[in-house]
Every structure is written in C-alpha cells, then in structure tokens.
Amino acid sequence: EKAVNLKKDLAEMQEWMTQAEEEYLEKDFEYKSPEELENAVEEMKRAKEDVLQKEVRVKILKDNIKMLATKVPSSGQDLATELNVVLENYQLLCNRIRGKCHTLEEVWSCWIELLQYLDLETAWLNNLEERVQMTGNLPDKLDAVNDALESLESVLRHPADNRTQIRELGQTLIDGGILDDIISEKLEAFNARYEELSHLAVSRQIALEQQLQTMRETDHMLQVLQESLGELDRQLTSYLTDRIDAFQMPQEAQ
C-alpha cells in the first residue's frame, strides 16, 4: 500500500511539473506595455518561489522511497527509477524557471535604466533650450555676450555617454520585441528634439562668436582712435601753448 501511495505521489509530482512547464515556460508572452512586462516579472518570481517550495515535497518523496527500498527492495527499486526521472525533471524545471525569471528581471532592469537615462538627457535638453533662449535678447555689451557664449558652451560640452546608453538599451529591447512600439516612439521623439536643439544651439554659438569678434574689433578700433585723438589733442595743446601760428603747423594739425 505504501508503494502504491508513493507511486501516486510521484505521478502527481510529474503532472504538476508538466503543468508548471506549460504555464510558465511554453506560453508565448508579448510585452507591449510596461504593465505587461512588470506583471510577467512578478508572475515569474511567484513561479520560482512555487517551484522551489516543492523541493521539500521532493525531498520527502526521496526519503520515503529510500526507506521503502531498504524494507522492500523489489518495490523500492522500481520507485527509485521513477524517482530519478522526477528528480531530473524537477531540477531541469527549476533551472529553466530560474533562468527565465533572471532574464525577465534583467529586461525590466534594462527598461528602468533606459527611462533613467532618458530623464537625465531630457533634463539636459531643457537646460540647453533655456540657455539658447537666454541668448535671444542680450544687451549690446561685450561682457554680456561673452558670458552668454561661455554659458552656452559649458552646456554643449555635455558628454555623449548617456545618449550612447539610450541607443544601446533601446536597441536591445527592440531587438527582443519588448516594448518596441513604446520605445521606438520615445527614442524618435527624443532624437528629433536633440537634433533640433543641438543644431539651434550650435548656430547660436557661431552667431555669438561672430558677434563677440565684431565687438572686440570695434572696441579695438575705438581704442586706437581714442589714442590717436589723445595724441592729436596733446599736439594741438602744445602748439597753442607755444603760440605757434596755424600756418606754421603741419598740414594734419591745420
């Protein structure tokens, strides 16, 4: 009777493993939204816990069959053979569910990481847009133009590492058919805004550089003219002081 019960337990265990494999490993999942992906991750975590909890039951079966084999070798031997099959299938099921759970957790982590990088780069784009707008109405002063140019250039020196991460993470998920529509839409919007603002910022940078160069040249010309007028003023003052007749002066002084 005990052998019959153990045989029945082994059959039930095998049936449960078959159902678990069909439910958790053979279903085709489509992750078209973050909610679907998150639910799949949670489901696989529960599946992993469920399968691992059966380890106690498997151990009890194993111990009971060993005990029976010592008392009734003939019955125990037949059950031991069935047990080995169940143990092998159980270990395989555990490994496959662990692997799928780990994969889904990695995918979810990849999605969260992508969102974090997009948030960082969006904040940088907002800052860049603000700096560009600030260059629109500058006072006609060299210091103001120079400060605006330096401020814009400091933002433009932003490293490209985050954008590389966004591209690689997004492509990895899209290649796996995971959230591909959502990610494609997000990346398209981000890249379009990045290209537009980058080109605008660089154009404004060039314009500021040219404006600054013109202002510096003008300032230099004014300085040279002021020095020339100052020298001329000193000469004229000297002529007047010495009471020199105008016709005795050099032509340029006249």
Is residue 251 included in any domain, yes or no? Answer: no
Structure tokens at 247: 């016709």
Question: Which residue has 């120079």 as its token pair?
Answer: 146
Predicted confidence at residue 130, as pLDDT, reads 94
Separation between Cα atoms, residue 29 and residue 8, nearest integer Å: 33
Signed CA dihedral, 194, 198, 200, 201: sign only: positive
Name the pLDDT band for 29 (thresholds 50, 70, 90): low
In CATH, what number is assigned to the domain containing residue 170?
Answer: 1.20.58.60
Is residue 97 included in any domain, yes or no? Answer: yes
Is residue 3 included in any domain, yes or no? Answer: yes
Query: Taking a C-beta distance cutoff of 8 angstroms, is the pair 169, 118 a contact?
Result: no
pLDDT, one tens digit per residue, over 12-28 is 999 999 999 888 887 66
DSSP structural state of residue 29: P
Whether residue 180 is predicted with pLDDT greater than 70 in this model: the reply is yes
pLDDT, one tens digit per residue, over 101-130 is 999 999 999 999 999 999 999 999 999 999
Predicted confidence at residue 252, as pLDDT, reads 57
The DSSP result for 89-151, as a single string, is HHHHHHHHHHHHHHHHHHHHHHHHHHHHHHHHHHHHHHHHHHHHHHTSS--S-HHHHHHHHHH
- What value does the mean pLDDT of the chain take? 88
How many domains does the chain fold into?
1
Is residue 237 included in any domain, yes or no? Answer: no
Q: Look at residues 118, 16, 2 and name the one whose alpha carbon lies nearest to residue 57.
A: 16
Is residue 162 included in any domain, yes or no? Answer: yes
CB-hemisphere CA count at 13 Å for 200? Answer: 16
Tell me the pTM: 0.78
Neighbours of 101 (CB within 10 A): 21
Is residue 186 included in any domain, yes or no? Answer: yes
For the chain, the helix, strand and coil percentages under 3-state DSSP, each to the nearest 5: 85, 0, 15
Roughly how many angstroms between the first and final C-alpha of the chain, as a whole number?
137
Is residue 216 included in any domain, yes or no? Answer: no
Query: Taking a C-beta distance cutoff of 8 angstroms, is the pair 152, 212 a contact?
Result: no
Neighbours of 29 (CB within 10 A): 14
What domain range includes position 201? 1-211
